[in-house]
Structure 1
């Protein structure tokens, strides 16, 4: 199956597959989340009974009720009044003008003029007072009133004027509002009638003048009142339909008000809101853009990037399907069963199969998708509690997983995730306003523990699938292969103990060197354990296994020795394939000698026949294709060479390392891998340090006296 998948990839082209995969990720994400972002709608008819209880899925403002409340408070605002000082002076001035006209009419005529008759005085006075009649209050004095005034002496007129000025001033100095004018006029009338200094014949005229003088002197300040009304309106909090609020009970009639609220909440079938779908599209665009960035920042080749992208796609799809399942069954439970979701599943898979950066991205993506998809209330928008729950659980697993962690370590990580989940559930229960009974509390904590354990269990279950389909070698698989109880390692140990020790030494050198340049040290170490498995076919023909026995090559022609030695790589690959070992381990067995020359037997054969071809004494290869195998190639030659040195010193080791690396460079063994000269320099330094640590000088202790 894996071979078939690889053939399809190579035929279509890795870059096209990668872009198609990212597009497919966006489509799957959009399709899975589309139902979750749309509000539920109901077939509701006006003035019919509701067949179910309907709650609002979002919080929206009710503008009608908000305006009603504002209008009610506006009507309760008392007008702001302002006392007008100038009204007193204006009214007294009007009264004085009236009496001034009267005195002018009564005055003696000028020289050359005759004295006016009484009727003429009344007519002249009526004409002079016409403006007062057309004023706001409308002073209207009858002819009888004017005649009574005209008949008075000047002193009497002045006396009445003073009395009226005094009374009016006393009244107008007190605040009089419009609604109080009638009462004040009645009071001033009564006071004028009681005044003994006003002659009876002019009392009615005095009363009319006094009532005319009373007007409102405390008026509404329109600007200040309007400002207060505006302030009150602005202080009114909008009336809202709250998320989860019951809009209509089952069996309740849907009147106009209920129907209006249902429309406002967007829950009638006639309404189609496209904004959530557009918002989801923006979310998917952001997500796929970030995914594209994560994939392109990978250090792997195009094939590796496609594999990483497909791993992420499948991990995310698995998580989305689990969310769909939980969302579908959640309606049958009163509790929030979303806490059972395996929070760290996607993060663990991507961390083990890809890298930490991609795992963090996938965890954030899955948590955001869960916040949208997994129900935690009546809202169709983002559920922050579920999103944080998955985010913290996933990050806990990512940062606790180590490169050298096996299945046992993964189970420990699952327990740690369960602990993180429990802590978050405790936070969720304590910070919420809902009261929970002990049964509910027990359920939520149990769900948190199950979530953590499920994360590890499902990850262990899915890993073989990824390894089989994509030919990926996970950290966990490498740890299993490094177990000394593995049948092939037991075979090497029992049949070729010298080779086993040699492999351990090479593994130490290769692991340290790979870690120093950022390569996969664990892969190099495990590859070294199996790289010489082919020597188990003829163990005695390899010098490290020749203990207290004669070297069989001394009795063989160089051609025969050559065939035995050169075959151990191919034979090792056959054994590894028979045991269904990962391709990366098989490649180490085949490529760890590259196409290097078997110098000892080549020169031995050349001494016999000078026409011998050099190519016939070279390994079949291919040359190392990866940094890890190139480093193993150096370490393998170096370990054998150092082991044969007598009294190795730091200087001797350094010269030997330089010579071996220089020889392989000149021989072109590193031409097909991406190992740079800078990295090669670091590798030489680390190998020297490691060998110096192994072959350090020992202190010679004095012998004990007999």
Structure 2
């Protein structure tokens, strides 16, 4: 059991990567659509690019969305309106009319005339309440059919225009009195009925909506059917009209009817295989070409998180509306990876992500082509991301590439620019604006994952920063030495294509440990007194060696990134403090070199190897007497060749050719520092 636990502990890094790989795979598959994907791509009005397509099974032709919408609209507009009738209102109005009529008309009116007036008024009431009086003025069309319900029992049918509106009472009264030649009594009857007439119809919205829904449910969503084996579309035939609708019907049927529970699991399994293959290729790439990234679980997590984030954002947009697919700034990812790692890793991860998205986006070939081309342009154009102008220029170029590529695809498909969708160009511009968000995103990632970008390195290179200010005050000689080393190292890094900004920052901070005992280092000694004269060679060596350990402590206390601390740890590698070693050897025959050896580790990158060379050359150059070109050349060759013989660069991915280029730069820089002139013969 103990051996098993020890084995797990030794392999915990690989186990973590395995769990991360599995979790990322399942989360991405979870985001993907789970139905089968129709294997043909087609667009309305464009030629059919695949082979002749025959119906694989019987299926119904589904109506288009426009047809269904039109039918629903017609049903809605022609639906019957239901009104509830209050029977008691009419009887109450009749009774009230009898009483008010006697009060209104004086006894002086002859009986015959009085009966005529009474009957005319009763006729007006019957006319008003023929269908009923509405309780309010509803905004319905006059030709809408209506049904009057008496206790949920349909009593009468008609049109909405048959119902009496309260603002139409005067019109009805005037019309009926004109027929009876009683216009002289218009004012009297209008005043009388104004107080008598009460509404007896109320719109029943609940019942009307229920009846409407029943009518909508009866709509048939198909028209005709296609039998198995029927030719649907031939190669090269333009997809439009019924052909397009038949293909859409087949696609929908394929995704809904064909997929049973067993098929669902097979689709899930197939998606898992493809996604895991893509992510496995990324892990293999990291292991073979970026072992330093592969060994760092935080960096691997960071890469997988960004891939998941792009898939997540894209699926969100597709679920909302797939026509906005190009708003998602996919090119942010290669920008971020280039800022934290390198261009090759950024492009590889970008391609893997685009391949994953090809499963779920419409017109996948067009989408993948545009995104891969845009990713390549991103990698090729964006340099020195910390310079704002460079980012704006690169984003403009990326947006232009999107627009040009989309325009070309559109012309190929349509053969004309008359129907060009200009709104898509607006989406590309929004994409470019979203890509500018990369700067704050990089800052957030630095805080979340503890990574370092060129933007942070630029801030650290400021000699007015708190730590470098302290170094210049406490150990001015060391500060001046660090500046010279930074200049030498930066020039060397530019010569071989290494990260010049990183090596410059590393050079500025590599000797901050000397602040603890500044006077024990010769560059900070302003008097003839040397404190090492009072110490043994072993004690002196320990103080010199400890400036590496002290530097690491100071760096961690000031929250310097690990990439910068690496330069402090490695700038002396495992070399000897040779001067004190020789001094000790004069007094003791047997000397243990461990007491005079730096703890290491050896440089493990081009940048750390450059710093070791530059630091040794700059420090030793102070001992040159009457420097000449010949002396400087021999001096540089001897120091670097000795480091090679000691195996200091065995762990660094630097070649002999690159070392020769660095020697050339260092010789030239030293010659410029000492202002050498041509040596004339005497």
TM-score (norm 2): 0.59
1:165-204 aligned at under 5 Å gives the runs none
Larger Rg: 1
1:373-522 aligned at under 5 Å gives the runs 373-374=360-361, 381-402=362-383, 405=386, 409-424=390-405, 441=422, 444-457=424-437, 459-464=438-443, 466-467=445-446, 471-511=450-490, 513=492, 520-522=499-501
What is the DSSP-based 3-state SS (H/G/I as helix, E as strand, rest coil) of the residue aligned with 1:324?
helix
Matched, 1:621 2:608: no
Counterpart of 2:201 in structure 1 is none
What is the DSSP-based 3-state SS (H/G/I as helix, E as strand, rest coil) of the residue aligned with 2:363?
coil
Query: Aligned in 2, Cα 1:483/1:330: closer, same or farther, shift over 3 Å?
Result: farther
Matched, 1:355 2:355: no
Counterpart of 2:285 in structure 1 is 294
Query: Aligned in 2, Cα 1:700/1:272: closer, same or farther, shift over 3 Å?
Result: closer
Shift of 1:400: 1.6
CA distance in 2, matches of 1:63, 1:612: 92
Query: Aligned in 2, Cα 1:364/1:562: closer, same or farther, shift over 3 Å?
Result: closer
Query: Aligned in 2, Cα 1:584/1:291: closer, same or farther, shift over 3 Å?
Result: closer
Query: Aligned in 2, Cα 1:597/1:357: closer, same or farther, shift over 3 Å?
Result: closer
Cα displacement string for residues 177-206 of structure 1 (whole angstroms, at most 9, x for unaligned residues):
xxxxxxxxxxxxxxxxxxxxxxxxxxxxxx
Shift of 1:417: 2.9
Query: Aligned in 2, Cα 1:533/1:17: closer, same or farther, shift over 3 Å?
Result: same
CA distance in 2, matches of 1:8, 1:247: 67
CA distance in 1, matches of 2:332, 2:385: 19
Counterpart of 2:91 in structure 1 is none
Aligned length: 490
Cα displacement string for residues 548-602 of structure 1 (whole angstroms, at most 9, x for unaligned residues):
x444437643466545433322222222111111112223213322343333345
CA RMSD of aligned residues (A): 4.7
Counterpart of 1:337 in structure 2 is 324
What is the DSSP-based 3-state SS (H/G/I as helix, E as strand, rest coil) of the residue aligned with 1:640?
helix
Given candidates 566, 571, 575, the residue that maps to 1:587 is: 566
What is the DSSP-based 3-state SS (H/G/I as helix, E as strand, rest coil) of the residue aligned with 1:597?
coil
CA distance in 2, matches of 1:555, 1:574: 27
Query: Aligned in 2, Cα 1:616/1:360: closer, same or farther, shift over 3 Å?
Result: closer
CA distance in 2, matches of 1:571, 1:286: 46
What is the DSSP-based 3-state SS (H/G/I as helix, E as strand, rest coil) of the residue aligned with 1:695?
helix
1:9-24 aligned at under 5 Å gives the runs 11-24=10-23
Contact 2:471 2:512 in 1 (8 A): yes
CA distance in 1, matches of 2:286, 2:321: 35
CA distance in 2, matches of 1:415, 1:264: 42
Counterpart of 1:30 in structure 2 is 29
Counterpart of 1:284 in structure 2 is 275
CA distance in 2, matches of 1:681, 1:367: 37
Unpaired runs of 5+ residues, structure 1, are 1-6, 40-54, 65-239, 375-380
Unpaired runs of 5+ residues, structure 2, are 1-5, 39-43, 73-218, 228-245
CA distance in 2, matches of 1:247, 1:276: 33
Counterpart of 1:267 in structure 2 is 253
Cα displacement string for residues 612-644 of structure 1 (whole angstroms, at most 9, x for unaligned residues):
955585255223251343442232122111232
Contact 2:63 2:221 in 1 (8 A): no
CA distance in 1, matches of 2:571, 2:445: 27
Query: Aligned in 2, Cα 1:397/1:530: closer, same or farther, shift over 3 Å?
Result: same
Shift of 1:461: 3.7
Shift of 1:527: 1.1
CA distance in 2, matches of 1:283, 1:564: 58
What is the DSSP-based 3-state SS (H/G/I as helix, E as strand, rest coil) of the residue aligned with 1:647?
coil
Counterpart of 2:546 in structure 1 is 567
Counterpart of 1:636 in structure 2 is 615
What is the DSSP-based 3-state SS (H/G/I as helix, E as strand, rest coil) of the residue aligned with 1:624?
coil
TM-score (norm 1): 0.58
Contact 1:534 1:573 in 2 (8 A): yes
1:658-677 aligned at under 5 Å gives the runs 658-664=637-643, 668=646, 670=648, 673-675=650-652
Cα displacement string for residues 258-307 of structure 1 (whole angstroms, at most 9, x for unaligned residues):
59758644438433285977875675365345435423431425843766
Query: Aligned in 2, Cα 1:500/1:428: closer, same or farther, shift over 3 Å?
Result: farther
Counterpart of 2:632 in structure 1 is 653
Counterpart of 2:333 in structure 1 is 346
CA distance in 2, matches of 1:700, 1:665: 31
Contact 2:532 2:540 in 1 (8 A): no
Contact 1:322 1:341 in 2 (8 A): yes
CA distance in 1, matches of 2:477, 2:389: 31
Contact 2:574 2:597 in 1 (8 A): yes
CA distance in 1, matches of 2:406, 2:16: 41
CA distance in 2, matches of 1:289, 1:606: 56
Matched, 1:694 2:673: no
Contact 1:36 1:373 in 2 (8 A): no
CA distance in 1, matches of 2:576, 2:350: 50
What is the DSSP-based 3-state SS (H/G/I as helix, E as strand, rest coil) of the residue aligned with 2:259?
coil
CA distance in 1, matches of 2:525, 2:385: 34
Contact 1:593 1:619 in 2 (8 A): no
Matched, 1:534 2:510: no
Query: Aligned in 2, Cα 1:62/1:505: closer, same or farther, shift over 3 Å?
Result: closer
Query: Aligned in 2, Cα 1:404/1:534: closer, same or farther, shift over 3 Å?
Result: farther
CA distance in 1, matches of 2:324, 2:8: 40
